[in-house]
Amino acid sequence: MRILKKDLGHGKLVVQAQNLDDLWCLSQSVRKGDVVIGKTTRKVRLGSAEEAVKKQYVLSVAVEDVEFKEQSLRLSGKTTEAMEDIPKGSHHTITTEPNDILTIIKESWQKYELDRIDQATQVQLSALIVIFDRELCLLARLKSRGYEIITELKGRVRKKGYELKKNEIESIVGVPVHTMIPFDNAVMESVNKKQPVVHMNSSVNNEFRRLAAVINGEKVEIRSGFWSRLLGR
């Protein structure tokens, strides 16, 4: 998110959403009764022409409905000013996509709303999450709120000799492998019992902790053994 102009004295904030996370952030910040200004297109007939042509407008709309859907943010309401072929008070929708510029005007901004937008301006960590065992590979993209599944790959392996080594995986995907999560038989146990099975100091648990530390930019020390954990050594 980029803040292009901030004039809180007049309740005005001009922003540029750079990705879908930013659009979601705006969907949580724009409320009914707010005024938004943005570019939109509308089909109009010029003169006696039979076919309508698309024309771009910059409209000011008093928001009545906010909808974040798929790849865009839709802000619907009534226009606050007349403009050429668009009368004041007519219903219209401003559709905002990544890299579009949007002006938001409120009677007053709440602190949590400004904090949310300020947080969206911070540099976001870009990371690809790869989780796999011998027959299944899951690729996901880390987002500021949760993750997004990219794809799921399934395969059949005859024996362990067919499994890729760490350096081979790095060569294929072109990024460093920070951790490798081993297969845990407790997964099958959990499936059979239809309830979670927790192992606090299993090798799988330790590798997930290591992965979380890498994503958060932290250092983690994995202590093995009961007395090491108890004595903090």
Is the pLDDT confidence value at 213 over 70?
yes
Looking at mean pLDDT, say which of 7-16, 50-59, 202-211, 220-229 comes out highest.
7-16
CATH topology of domain 2-120: SH3 type barrels. (2.30.30)
Residues 6+ apart with CB under 8 A from 29: 104, 113, 116, 117
The tally of CA atoms less than 13 A away on the side-chain side of residue 233 is 3
Return the biggest CA–CA distance within the chain: 88
Is the pLDDT confidence value at 207 over 60?
yes
| CB contact at 8 A, 30 and 128 | no
Write the pLDDT tens digit of every residue in 32-59. Answer: 999 999 988 777 666 665 677 777 888 8
Residue 77 burial by CB count (10 A; 0-12/13-18/19+): exposed, middle or buried? Answer: buried
Mean pLDDT, rounded, for 148-170: 68
Is the pLDDT confidence value at 116 over 80?
yes
Q: State residue 137's pLDDT score.
A: 76
Q: Which helix (H) or strand (E) holds 120?
A: helix 111-120
Looking at mean pLDDT, say which of 61-70, 132-141, 170-179 comes out highest.
61-70
Sequence spans of domains, the chain:
2-120, 128-231
Q: Is the whole-model pTM more than 0.75?
A: no
Is the pLDDT confidence value at 225 over 80?
no
Q: State residue 209's pLDDT score.
A: 78
